[in-house]
Amino acid sequence: MRDPAVFYITTAIDYPNSRPHIGTAFEKIGADVQARFQRMEGRSVHFLMGNDENTIKVSQRAEELGVEPQAYVDDMARQFQDVWKALEISNDDFIQTSQERHHLGCRKFIQAVYDAGHIDKRAYTGLYCTGCEAFKTDKEIADGKCPNHPNLALKEIAEENYFFRLTDFSDRLLAHYEANPDFIQPESRRNEIISLVKEGLYDVSISRKGFTWGIRVPFDDDQTIYVWFDALLNYITAIGYGTDEERFNRLWPADVHVIGKDITRFHCALWPAMLMAAGLPLPKRIFGHGFVYNKGAKISKSAGTAIDPMEVFRIHGADPFRYYFMKECPFGGDGNYSDERFAEVYNADFANNLGNLYSRTLSMCVRYFGGTLEGAGSIDPTAWRSGLDLDRLVAELRTLIGNFSYSAALLKIWLEILDCFNRYIQSTEPFKLIKTDPEATKVVLVNLAEAMRVVAILIKPFLPSTAETFYRSFNFGDARAWSDVGYADIPNRPTIANLTVTAPLKDGKPTPLFPKIELNPTAVDV
């Protein structure tokens, strides 16, 4: 049995026919929040991302640019990873499906399924969507078009290909869903897949003939492995299937696949059936997140509604970007983006609240005590959270974040923690107290610093750079596990009564973390 301290999380791999858009970034940030949270819980996390390169789109795009497919995908992989690095995505591995480790694992897998009798060759005629890179049944077509790519004409293709006998696995799939109610999340996705399987599955074409770019079928050199049968295997080939069995057994099965709701049928029906056919364990959970819309329109490269995440990042940085999408777009449902709403959320939650609390606390420490708080006497580090049951809140946040309920978790942090923080400043008024009782003021400021430490820990999965800034500014040390929110002995933690402000200052004041976005009646300055 796999070590329970290990946590293996993946995202969908992306088509590199163009740069990522904010809808793609939404998925990666959501998975990253989970990976960071699990690390803070003490688990050994392996976080996988990558690009889906063995596709018709890739070879077509490379031909348009006059370059070889491999050179094209390597450059796009670099561009994708530059975006993910900018957004503070903490993935441990990035697989390109053109890599040898993937090719070797795919060939081993398809051979195993073929040898087990679950693959046969037959002639086929069907309607093919180049956007989805998938054949479409009559049930999946609306008004003669693919609902996901209405601007792309469906192509009728007649070929002799290899087929995976997906229909043989309907009963086993339904039994697995019933025995494992958390396998597909959220509940709406689970209900969709159960209905899909009950209505009747169909055998799936898993190879194409006449293509030079892709992975050769080991038992028929004229055929290449078809995109979905190839792409889904990245989750196991990246961790050693076919190349490093010891590593594979250490990490598999995945704890969660994070994917978009438009590809749940591939991940929740085809993928588990493939694993059953090969005699491999199934992933523990598949989470299908919703879509992000651009002012009500679906984010789409082909429709021209895509937004480059780097455009937002370059102006405001990673953390406001991450916060907006995790708060405003419920991860299990759909959300919307607009520059106007981004500015509203940024000003209210960052400039006027979190950033203001940080600046006020630091400024008072520097102005009143030169940045060093020593000998503050008998300090009750819980004084700032009067009326707040912190242990209860942390337990609730653990559950919410573990279930991908990020919007609800952030709402609790802002409404309960930060509001409590603000109320403490209002009730103690250190800016007035300093005139009559400096020692009492020192106690208040140490308590405020302690509140900042708690905030830093709770926001870290969502806002890693901001959390690090808080830690460095107050010289809190290195302890930052989720359990460190409490007041038990924490290794390497400085004495709460002796704090030194180490934040960079300009004219005795900290630089604003989140400068306010200036609005005017007709435009948003972003």
- Model confidence over 448-503: pLDDT tens digits? 988 998 999 999 999 999 999 998 888 887 667 887 886 544 444 445 556 777 77
pLDDT at 304: 61
Residues of the chain with pLDDT > 70, as a percent, come to 92
446 torsion bin: left (phi>0), alpha (psi -120 to 50), beta (else): alpha
Q: Are 169 and 276 in contact (CB under 8 A)?
A: yes
pLDDT at 297: 63
Confidence of residue 58 (pLDDT cuts 50, 70, 90): confident
Entry pTM = 0.90
pLDDT at 193: 97
Q: Are 375 and 416 in contact (CB under 8 A)?
A: no
pLDDT at 136: 77
Among 79, 52, 11, which Cα is nearest to 134's? 52
Distance, in Å, from the CA atom of 326 to the CA atom of 526, rounded to the nearest integer, reads 19
Q: How far apart are the first and last CA of the chain?
A: 51
Q: What is the mean pLDDT of residues 55-71?
A: 90
Among 256, 272, 330, 288, which Cα is nearest to 189's? 288
Q: What is the mean pLDDT of residues 297-326?
A: 78
Confidence of residue 126 (pLDDT cuts 50, 70, 90): confident
Residue 491 burial (CB < 10 Å; 0-12/13-18/19+)? exposed
What is the rounded radius of gyration, in angstroms, for the C-alpha atoms of the chain?
A: 26
Ordered by where they begin, the domains of the chain are 340-524 (1.10.730.10)
Q: What is the mean pLDDT of residues 430-451?
A: 91
pLDDT at 520: 63
Is the per-residue pLDDT at 183 higher than 50? Answer: yes
Is the per-residue pLDDT at 505 higher than 90? Answer: no
Q: What is the mean pLDDT of residues 11-27?
A: 90
pLDDT at 312: 77
